[in-house]
Structure 1
Amino acid sequence: MPLRPWLAIAFVAAAALIQQSLSALNCDVSWLITIAERLLDGARLYRDIEEVNPPASVLLYVPAVALAQALGLRPEALTVAMVAVLALLSVRHARRILPPLPARATLVSAACAFILLILPADLFAQREHIALLAGLPMLAVIVSRSLALPVRAADARSAGIAGGIMVVIKPHLILALALPALWSALRRRSLDAARAPEWITLALVCAGYLLLVLLAFPEYFTHMLPLLRLVYLPGRDSWHHLLTGTMVTIPATAAVLTFWLARARPSEPAIVALLAAAGFALAGLVQGKGYLNHGYPAVASALLAITLELARPGKARAFGALCAATLALFATYSYARVPQPTALRDAVQRLGPSHPKLIGVSFDFSLGHPLTRWVDGTWVGTRGNQWATGNAWQQLESPALSPAARRAYEQAERADAALLAADIIRYRPDIVLVDEVPGPTWIARHPPLARAMQRYRPGARVANITLWTPR
């Protein structure tokens, strides 16, 4: 690729790094970095510290955390830098596989860099962000196979490795590769691609990961998965909210715009990008949580489709570019939602020691993360929040719940409270962050937790959060 497109990408990458320096990594990434630190300190995942996702979600951040510790840097900075480098490598890999870009290569490169580096905003370095970056070379291979273009075996295998990483991050995301691959097979009237090096390599990566989880993280299957099946997986957002959220509406709008620009005949790369967006959106609907990070890959893929179509010669480019830019800016704005609890941070620093030990009583995952890292503290809870109780309460609202299921959810709530009580007694946190919900009433309902909290008293209140300190 000529120099000018790479200069455009470098400019956008620099802007993305500036953007991230002015913000904070969101609660999920902050929590996963914390878990990675605990693992490197010798803790055992799903026993000493729990995460609702499979091990890949944590292992993604271990290299950045380990390198940060070796260099004496903050893991957040290394995480942002490594993801930015991954984006550049992914684009370079995909470009080597795809057919040559048209004359608008500089604008296309800048737009793609914006979608991959600026658009995520506060979702930067989320698992779905990394998964999309990992999946791009595989999508490029699918385009080339569909056009019957040659793909070097080394490129195919490396794309398969990256695609396998995407799938092990979240298995649902295989839909983003399956739909384009099915289209390619129908277009060529052949299933030969299923035996191609990239798919064989992808399958081997997934099989190797499964073996790793079985051998190194058996507690995920014996302890975590049964609990997730009981309380976490059944908790879904409403279909109305799912179908009217950005995960569906922006890709749908982008698809209409792409077909309009192409006069109903999009290019092969644009079709593959739209089918990938549909697969990502379906994966988000399968998960059913409606979180913004679940929708980012679908939005980004759909915007990539418009970008690829705008690069083709034709009319109505200006209007199409305006519509695409509006969609991209709207999505960027909607993703910039990491709370900045400066008042709570100031209260923690005022009441606690210089490196406080924190724990929380809340359904809000963002209460303690990234707050704990902002104050150079240590989160001493086995869990990041009371997600088990929160999801159990959601299921207990159903009048059709059987007595046996009701008892199981109530037991999950009691176990959640008992685990929190044990953490408080064992680690003696300097500050307990108590949210209004579930709040002191929930504490009083569980005797072990109430006894553990007898050592604490309310010290300050910030909005709906009460900071409890030792008596």
Structure 2
Amino acid sequence: MITGALPTYRLPSSALRPGWPMLVIVAALVQQALSSLNCDVSWLITTAERVLDGARLYRDIEEVNPPASVLLYIPSVATAGLLGIAPEAVTVLLASMLAILSLRHVGRILAVPPAALASLGAAGAFILLVLPADLFAQREHVALIAGLPCLAVIVRRTRNLPVRAGDAWATGIGAGIMVAIKPHLILALALPQLWSSARQRSLDVLKSPEWLALAATGVGYLLIVLLVFPDYTAHMLPLLRLVYLPGRDSWGHLLTGTMVSIPATVAILTLWLARARPTNDVVVLLLAAAGFAAAGLVQGKGYLNHGYPAVATSLLAITLHLSRPGHARAFGAVCAAILALFATYSYARVPEPRALSDAVQRLGPAHPRLIGISFDFSLGHPLTRWVGGEWVGTRGSQWVTGNAWQQLENPALPATARRAYERAEQDDAALLAADITGHRPDIILVDDVPGPRWIAAHPPLARAMQGYRPARRVGTVTLWTKR
């Protein structure tokens, strides 16, 4: 049902306490103070530091994602350097501030009445600040924060309500930033916009300021990539096409993971509670969740951070439905809360290898120079930052070899492709050997996989390792120190 006014939001009076959003925000900050930013964020902070110190991205230090993933953390790293504090703290504070500003912008665009701001604000703050847990400040987390106001604009346009020009341009830029972070995420805007345009039987909205701003932001970013980061297109993209993009999780894992299962469950529950007649704002958010989930399936990795936007948006959808007068049903609210808490628990997975960090601190100097030989990206990150060390590798792990091995397991692989993957593995080992020889790390973290046999199979790497010896073993990792 399309009407000319926005829906009325209202939760029970017991929930309408102005202090609730602030309590959620404080809880989120406490959670982050007691937790850790995960390996991806830690690595990107390290990469941003190296870039600010003069390293050339994709040549002196390599990141598998486009430049936006590194540029995203430049402000927090630069600010932390000026203030003399840890970049992690600034990253958390900036992401929290952006989330709060995004929620305020959404509330103003949707004209949420004051009586409901506290309750909806608290729910939104939980979804954007507490739900991510150890995925906090991940690229997908920031992308959702940037793109959420554009979904609110789509709701207004669906109801033929005016949108202020400033809001339209601002939300379009935010949506452009979201798409620059992960181009696949355009699906989260395209699906609800296509539905809205079909309801209105017009595509004129594509000429609106928000879509023009999105396109302009995208074009501007593309020019930055081509002109400022030529190594990405010349060197990194061919390597990604060869070894990274073909590596996909199984469809069974993708479809049963939280990226699909939670949004699907929330959608079914919401449609059941709404008796298959959800309001337009709920439909927009459910379609956005479907778009986010589809974007994760396109990427095909099945990582938890890829699924967060779909989970968060679906929970926002059911929250809006339950906030409608007469719809705050206890069963639906309890189910939504259980799903939200389950997702939060699933995202709290950053391990803290105390034994490994203690061993590094005992064997190495005060600020050890580290490098790793492992397919596990989380081996060296955030461990390096926890011990106050310096990662001296060009790559964060042997992801090239790991992905090459995955493809080489295919017996039907053509001979040409097989040679290309074997060459990529050799280049990976040679680059690691050059890093060890050139930077002389204090400690080399050698995982059982690929392990010493892989080292011995590549003569340049074996020669580089001759200046080191196994010193201590922690779990599946052996710490090698200088002879």
TM-score, normalization by structure 1: 0.98
Task: Indicate which of 157, 175, 199 corresponds to 1:163.
Answer: 175
Q: Distance in 2 between matches of 1:295 and 1:283?
A: 9
Q: Distance in 2 between matches of 1:53 and 1:205?
A: 18
Residue identity in the other structure for 2:411 = P
Q: How many equivalent pairs are there?
A: 471
Cα distance, 1:95 vs structure 2 = 1.2
Residue identity in the other structure for 1:62 = I
Q: Which residue does 1:55 correspond to in 2?
A: 67
Residue identity in the other structure for 1:239 = W
Q: Which residue does 2:278 correspond to in 1?
A: 266
Q: Which residue does 1:68 correspond to in 2?
A: 80
Task: Indicate which of 114, 117, 130 corresponds to 2:142.
Answer: 130
- Unmatched segments (≥5 aa) in structure 2: 1-8, 11-15
2:228 paired with 1:203: no
Equivalent residues of 2:107, 2:117 under 8 A apart:
no
2:421 paired with 1:409: yes
Q: Which residue does 2:118 correspond to in 1?
A: 106
2:290 paired with 1:278: yes
Q: Distance in 2 between matches of 1:93 and 1:192?
A: 24
Q: Distance in 2 between matches of 1:402 and 1:283?
A: 30
Residue identity in the other structure for 1:217 = F
Residue identity in the other structure for 2:419 = R
Task: Indicate which of 385, 388, 392 corresponds to 1:380.
Answer: 392
Q: Distance in 2 between matches of 1:260 and 1:6?
A: 31
Q: Distance in 1 between matches of 2:221 and 2:125?
A: 30
- Unmatched segments (≥5 aa) in structure 1: none
Please show how residues 392-403 of structure 1 align to structure 2 within 5 Å: 392-403=404-415
Q: Which residue does 1:226 correspond to in 2?
A: 238
Q: Which residue does 1:330 correspond to in 2?
A: 342
Cα distance, 1:106 vs structure 2 = 2.5
Cα distance, 1:99 vs structure 2 = 3.5
2:46 paired with 1:34: yes
Cα distance, 1:9 vs structure 2 = 1.9
Q: 1:135 to 1:315 in 2, by over 3 A?
A: closer
Q: 1:73 to 1:109 in 2, by over 3 A?
A: same
Q: Which residue does 2:6 correspond to in 1?
A: none
Report Cα offsets for 1:411-461 as digits up to 9, x if no partner: 000000000000000000000000000000000000000000000000000
Q: Which residue does 1:238 correspond to in 2?
A: 250
Report Cα offsets for 1:291-340 as digits up to 9, x if no partner: 00000000000000010000012257100000000000000000000011
Q: Distance in 2 between matches of 1:94 and 1:428?
A: 51
Q: Distance in 2 between matches of 1:344 and 1:316?
A: 49
Report Cα offsets for 1:212-248 as digits up to 9, x if no partner: 0100000000000000000000000000000000000
Cα distance, 1:261 vs structure 2 = 1.4
* SS at 1:461 equivalent: strand
Task: Indicate which of 309, 313, 316 corresponds to 2:321.
Answer: 309
TM-score, normalization by structure 2: 0.96
Q: Which residue does 1:175 correspond to in 2?
A: 187
Q: Distance in 2 between matches of 1:101 and 1:428?
A: 62
Cα distance, 1:152 vs structure 2 = 0.2
Q: Distance in 1 between matches of 2:94 and 2:50?
A: 20
Task: Indicate which of 152, 156, 171 corresponds to 1:140.
Answer: 152
Q: Distance in 1 between matches of 2:366 and 2:123?
A: 44
Q: Distance in 1 between matches of 2:301 and 2:330?
A: 36
* SS at 2:75 equivalent: helix
Equivalent residues of 2:321, 2:327 under 8 A apart:
no
Q: Distance in 2 between matches of 1:318 and 1:11?
A: 22
Tell me the percent identity: 73
